[in-house]
Amino acid sequence: MTADRPVAALVLAAGGGRRYGMPKALVEFEGSLLVERAVRTATAVCDPVLVVLGARAVDVWRSADLGGATVLANAEWETGMASSLRTGLDGLRGWPGRVDAVLVLLVDMPGMTPAALARMAEHAAPDALAVPTYDGVRGHPVLLGREHWAGVAESATGDEGARRYLTAHEVTEVDCTGLADPVDLDVPPGTP
């Protein structure tokens, strides 16, 4: 990140984790909660860092160390990821100071690293749209320039965040192979 191109992070951590059996923000992984890992990773590279909570938000807020992050509550979290993305983008629109772009992180990706975020942040600009690739497969975190926030928010529905918007626009693919583990935790380890 450079001073002339501020990059925010938006950690989406509001879901109820139906397939997992509990909100993923409260899942412990290698000694810390997933939401804590995501916030630590984000704060290593981005400023500001916003975290959107929803399911059991009070429990997450009380039990997780979210130091360095601003917490936003999504009252409509049950409608899907799109409402959390809109909540976060709305929070950034009113942010004091200039934020040119945001990296959108999912709480259930414990293998995400500051190195992958830094590689993505190199592409930050108000008109930026970028996705990382891992061995040629698109993944997260997605980089959204400020000029695209309204369009992304408008096109996001249900459990689909920016996918529809990204499909309809020119997107820069950034090779992040080897910089992070792009696997998400959809079910508890050992579940068939």
Per the structure block, which two tokens stand in for 122? 């190199």
Q: State which fold the 7-175 domain adopts.
A: Spore Coat Polysaccharide Biosynthesis Protein SpsA; Chain A (3.90.550)
pLDDT (tens digit per residue) in 52-93: 999 999 999 999 999 999 999 999 999 988 999 999 999 998
Task: Give mean pLDDT, residues 126-136.
Answer: 97
| Phi, psi (degrees; rounded to nearest 5) at 65 | -85, 105
Please list, in sequence order, all residues whose beta carbon lies within 8 angstroms of the beta carbon of residue 79, skipping any fewer than 6 positions away. Answer: 158
pLDDT in tens, 30-59: 999 999 999 999 999 999 999 999 999 999
How far is residue 121's CA from residue 107's CA, in Å, rounded to a whole number? 18
- Report the pLDDT averaged over residues 163-186: 92
pLDDT of residue 1: 40
Cβ count within 10 A of residue 179: 20
Q: 3-state class of 125 per DSSP?
A: coil
Which amino acid is residue 163, in one-letter code? Answer: R
In angstroms, the CA 181 to CA 110 distance is 8
- In the predicted model, is pLDDT for residue 187 greater than 90? no
Could you tell me the pTM of the whole model? 0.92
What does R_g of the chain's alpha carbons equal in angstroms? Answer: 15
